[in-house]
Structure 1
Amino acid sequence: MTGKIVIDTERCKGCGLCVVVCPKKSIVISEESNQSGYFPARKTDGDCTGCAQCAIICPEGIIEVSREQMERIRIVAAPGKPGTPRLIEEKR
């Protein structure tokens, strides 16, 4: 599964709890402040798994996490034509 993180950076106070609990280090503290003067959390290009630990621990409740199941595709060579792949199974 892959996850998608949405952080309301204008309401974030930059406490950093989400950064600490993220097992994939998909969240960091921004180097730019928000309109309130806080340095909010922001998502990175890390491999979010959608565990939602960040959303659970956030005292402001401003993090949303959604999960998306990755497609698994199995490809094998076609009989009689070595090296020619064909799709035999696709799961969502």
Structure 2
Amino acid sequence: MAKNRGAVVIDTERCKGCQLCKEACPSKVLNMNIDANSKGYHYAYMEAAEACTGCASCAYVCPDACITVYRVKN
């Protein structure tokens, strides 16, 4: 069975740093950036991209719909 790989794209200007995506990720792929966006929020980013399975749990819980998840079969 082929393992799915994922890629998370975050609209950093819309992210308000609520950390719901970070908590929802079962693979602990996401973390909060030390840099801030133009609104002053520390936005999410993919810290461990190789561990992403593309489950989209992060996108489901994002209240601002600023996360898009892409899935690729290996």
TM-score by length of 1: 0.74
Q: Which blocks of at least 5 consecutive residues in structure 1 are unaligned?
A: 71-92
* Moved >4 Å (runs of 4+): none
Given residue 18 of structure 1, which amino acid in structure 2 is its aligned partner?
C
2:61 counterpart of 1:57: yes
The corresponding residue for 1:86 is none
| Structure showing the higher helix proportion among its residues | 2
In structure 1, C-alpha distance between the alignment counterparts of 2:21 and 2:48, rounded to whole Å: 15
Paired positions, count: 70
Indicate the SS of the match to 1:64.
strand
In structure 1, C-alpha distance between the alignment counterparts of 2:46 and 2:14, rounded to whole Å: 15
Matches within 5 A, 1:22-61: 22-46=25-49, 47-61=51-65
Larger Rg: 1
The sequence identity of aligned pairs, in percent, is 46
The corresponding residue for 1:69 is 73
Contact 2:28 2:48 in 1 (8 A): no
Q: Which blocks of at least 5 consecutive residues in structure 2 are unaligned?
A: none
In structure 2, C-alpha distance between the alignment counterparts of 1:28 and 1:58, rounded to whole Å: 14
In structure 2, C-alpha distance between the alignment counterparts of 1:22 and 1:41, rounded to whole Å: 12
Given residue 20 of structure 1, which amino acid in structure 2 is its aligned partner?
E
Contact 2:24 2:57 in 1 (8 A): yes
After superposition, give the CA deviation of every residue in 1:2-51 in whole Å (9 maximum; x if it has no partner).
00100001110000000001011110011111111001111113410000
Indicate the SS of the match to 2:21.
helix
In structure 2, C-alpha distance between the alignment counterparts of 1:27 and 1:45, rounded to whole Å: 7
